Amino acid sequence: MLSKLIKIIFIGLCAWTNTAPVYADNPFILLQSTTSTRNSGLYDYLLPIYTNLSGVDIRVVAVGTGQALRNARNGDADVLLVHAKSAEEKFVADGFGVERFDLMYNDFVIIGPGSDPAGVRGLELATAALETIAHAGATFVSRGDDSGTHKKELELWGGTTVEVDSVSGTWYLETGSGMGATLNIATGKDAYTLTDRATWISFQNKQSFEILVEGDPLLFNQYGVIMVNPERHTHVKADLGQAFIDWLLSPAGQNAIATFRVDGQQLFYPNAKR
């Protein structure tokens, strides 16, 4: 009687503290991901399709690419979906990932107030636009958080004569925050910033802000998918993770990515090479 009671209490405690409220029974994998794919609503569209198909839940932890890579390095993920190709290749080369696959792409854009005080609207080269902003002394807001977007932004500044480190805190402001928080700061300070197009289109606090510079090939934004190496971290759910990656790269998964729309606009373009 007493042991039965203890058992009931124990099960109750487990149920109270540990289980997920909805997906209690399904097997799941942990996906460390960039924020743009979550904030744009891609996962809300894509993942239920896969879950219905496979019975496997995908638990998404959406953080900056730098943090996602670090968490995955620690073994706190089965699959990684980020957008910083060279950092991803290093992750695989260091033995933390099995293999990196191109998954989809979109592009980065420079946004700013519609009044465009620095006069960058329509410039074709992103580096020229940044140079113009710097010379005008107009405020530019940087992620400053080692995310994929931040890495791209620094790469672009590298192609200019501006040393952003030396002007940080003047007209160049590093927020150290996610894309959404940074966009809120940009609109609040009438500043320019670099953002991926998906986050911008789905962002709801645009005010008078517009896309001012786009279309430079340098603004290409490639997303990659990697399985965390089960030889490095033995608990990685290799079978479930590989099945998910295989689906993403298959015609069915690629087609699902292509059909995702926000306000009638396509946000991600599949380009898996298989």
| Residue ranges that bind another protein, judged by CB under 8 A | 16-18, 20-23, 30, 35, 39, 44, 59-62, 71, 73-76, 178-181, 183-184, 202-206, 233, 235
The span from the CA of 84 to the CA of 179, in Å, is 15
> How near is the Cβ of 256 to another protein at its closest, in Å?
18
Instruction: Find the shortest distance in angstroms from Cβ 16 to another protein.
Output: 7
Alpha-carbon 254 to chain mean position: 18
Q: Least distance (Å) from another protein to the CB of residue 23?
A: 6
| Cβ proximity to another protein, 161 vs 204, nearer residue | 204
Nearest to 37 by CA among 225, 238, 239: 225
- Give least dist CB 137 to another protein, A: 27
179 vs 225 by CB, closer to another protein:
179
Measured from the CB atom, the residue of 57 and 131 that comes closer to another protein is 57
In the complex with another protein, the residue whose CB is nearer, 82 or 162, is 82
Question: Whole-number minimum distance, CB 228 to another protein, in Å?
Answer: 10
* CB nearer to another protein: pick between 129 and 179: 179
Which residues lie below 8 Å from residue 140, measured CB to CB, with a gap of 6+? Answer: 130, 133, 134, 171, 172, 173, 191, 192, 193
